[in-house]
């Protein structure tokens, strides 16, 4: 799944691991990848939002 964030393409991959879902998120411009874990009962939109926030935080740290 791909989305746009601030003019950049961001890719998401969802992997179910038992009762948990791992969301891997990649920023196409930098190649930076982060992962987040959440319960399988959470909505895909919530998990995607969590992973995107984590990616934005990592990108912010890289710019310092």
pLDDT of residue 5: 61
Q: How many domains does the chain have?
A: 1
pLDDT of residue 63: 72
Domain that holds residue 9: 2-62
Res. 11: pLDDT tops 90: yes
Res. 6: pLDDT tops 80: no
Q: What is the pLDDT of residues 16-40, one digit of tens each?
A: 999 999 999 999 999 999 999 999 9
pLDDT of residue 42: 97
Instruction: Round the average pLDDT of the chain to a whole number and report it.
Output: 90
- The sign of the dihedral angle between the CA atoms of 39, 42, 45, 50 is negative
Cβ atoms of 34 and 58 within 8 Å: the answer is yes
- The helix (run of H) or strand (run of E) holding residue 30 is none
């Amino acid at each position: 799944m791909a989305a746009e964030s601030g003019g950049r393409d961001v890719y998401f991959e969802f992997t179910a691991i038992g009762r948990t879902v791992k969301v891997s998120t990649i920023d196409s411009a930098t190649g930076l990848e982060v992962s987040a874990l959440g319960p399988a009962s959470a909505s895909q939109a919530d998990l995607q939002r969590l992973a995107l926030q984590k990616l934005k935080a990592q990108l912010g740290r890289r710019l310092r």
